[in-house]
Amino acid sequence: MASPPNLQVTYPRPRPLNLYSVSWRVFSDKQIPEVIRILKKKALMCVDAKGYENMAKNMSEFDRYIRQLQALIEAYENGRSGRTGEESSGSDGGGG
């Protein structure tokens, strides 16, 4: 019985991220008159220090996840299986 042919399948990489800029402003209690002036023109979205910390942690998680996916894709493209680049470096990505 003949073995099946060894086919090399290549899938296109995803389109790169197209990120949009975000304007950040930090206000203290001394700037309440300025905040009120801005609120008369548009709405403001606010996040406290803990929320900002959590957003930073989330961005770190996105970065870890993307790096692991890239390593997995590279392993498939190179015909390897098993360990990804992140696993071989000993990094677990933190999280938590």
Could you tell me if residue 8 is inside a domain?
no
Total domains in the chain come to: 1
* Domain assignment present for 75: yes
Domain of residue 69 covers: 47-86
pLDDT at 26: 87
Residue 27 lies in a domain: no
25: Cα separation from own chain's centroid: 22
Checking 85-93 for CB contacts under 8 A at 24+ apart, the result is: 93/61, 93/64, 93/65, 93/68
The tens digit of pLDDT for each residue in 54-66 reads: 999 999 999 999 9
pLDDT category at 68 given cuts 50, 70, 90 is very high
pLDDT of the residue at 80: 53
Report the alpha-carbon angle 93-84-9, nearest 5.
135
* 14: in domain: no
pLDDT of amino acid 36: 92
Q: Is 93 within 8 Å of 68 (Cβ atoms)?
A: yes
State the pLDDT at residue 73: 85
Determine, yes or no, domain membership for 39: no
pLDDT of residue 85: 52
How does residue 82 score in pLDDT terms, banded at 50, 70 and 90? very low
Does the model's pTM come out above 0.85?
no
Domain membership flag for residue 22 = no
The per-residue pLDDT of the chain, averaged, comes to 80
Q: Is residue 76 included in any domain, yes or no?
A: yes
In this prediction, residues 13-18 reach a mean pLDDT of 83
Any domain includes 73: yes
Helix (H) or strand (E) holding 86, with range, is helix 85-89
